[in-house]
A = this chain, B = another copy of it.
Amino acid sequence: MKARVTVYPRREILDPQGKAIRDALTRVGFPGVDDVRAGKSFEISLGTEDLQAADRQLREMCEKLLANTVVEDYSLEILGGAGAQP
């Protein structure tokens, strides 16, 4: 089973990268952009086809490693069999 984990800096925390990207986008001609948040995305092939087991494992991975919950939030997504990535 394939899953996607997305990790973003917490809302209340300053996101210097997101801010830099927004400024850069404005500079190169996208004035309408009023907020950018920059996060990380992981595509993970799991050794299980069990949805519940997958969810448990992914949560544990996030807590242990993929996200630093002091400053980051994460979200999970199970990808369709083929893998949604182009």
Which of A's residues lie within 8 Å of B, judged by CB? 6-8, 18, 21, 24-25, 28, 30-48, 57, 60-61, 64-66, 73, 75, 84-86
Contact = CB atoms under 8 A, between A and B. Distances in A.
Given A38-B42, A73-B86, A75-B85, A66 B32 contact: no
A36 B44 contact: yes
Contact of A45 (B6, B35, B43): B35
Contacts of A61: 25, 30
Given A25-B44, A35-B43, A35-B44, 11 more contacts: A24-B65, A28-B64, A31-B47, A32-B46, A34-B45, A36-B43, A37-B85, A39-B40, A39-B41, A39-B42, A75-B84
Interface of A is mostly: mixed
Nearest to A1: B32
Contacts of A25: 44, 61, 65
